[in-house]
Amino acid sequence: MECAVAVAEEALDLTQSPHPDLDLNLFDPFTKLVQIEVLGQNFKVPENNTLMRCFQYVAFEPISYGGFCWNGTCRQCEVKYDLGDGRERQCLTCCTKVTEGMKITETHPEIRFE
Ligand code: FES
């Protein structure tokens, strides 16, 4: 699977989807990518979007075809994260906007990146 982080940010055209089947119209408007860490892996993802949509940006197939409700009901998108202050928080990624520097430390087993 090709990943958006493999491309230098200067070379990114933000109007181009990182996957041919990913419709960028599903995203809230964004003008830049922000960096997050997920289980030790760094990703550049669209600002101003839910974490779930950001996960889909870097792992189109497992997220798109996973068993997610996308509306806060199934809880299969739950993660634990840190904003750099050492305080562990928990959220549903389909209901939580991404924050630059977010460090996801634990994910529900349904969330896969390969
Ligand atoms: S995807 Fe079901 S609660 Fe988030």
Per-residue pLDDT, averaged over 4-27, amounts to 74
Centre of ligand 1 from the C-alpha of residue 11, in Å? 33
Provide the residue type at 84 as one letter.
Answer: G
Mean pLDDT, the chain, whole residue set: 90
Pocket test of ligand 1: the residue of 53, 77, 90 to mutate, having most ligand atoms within 8 Å of its CB, is 77
SS (H, E, C) the chain: CCCHHHCCHHHCCCCCCCCCCCCHHHCCCCCCEEEEEECCEEEEEECCCEHHHHHHHHCHHHHHCCCCCCCCCCCCCEEEEECCCCCCEEEEHHHCECCCCCEEEEECCCCCCC
Confidence band for 11, pLDDT divided at 50, 70 and 90: low
Check: CB of residue 47 under 8 Å from CB of residue 98: yes
| CA 95 – ligand 1 centroid, Å | 8
Q: Which residues surround ligand 1 with Cβ inside 6 Å?
A: 68-70, 72-77, 92, 94
Model confidence pLDDT, tens digit, residues 72-92: 999 999 999 999 999 999 999
Task: For each of the domains in the chain, give its residue range(s) and CATH number, in order of start.
Answer: 30-107 (3.10.20.30)
Q: What pLDDT score does 13 carry?
A: 78
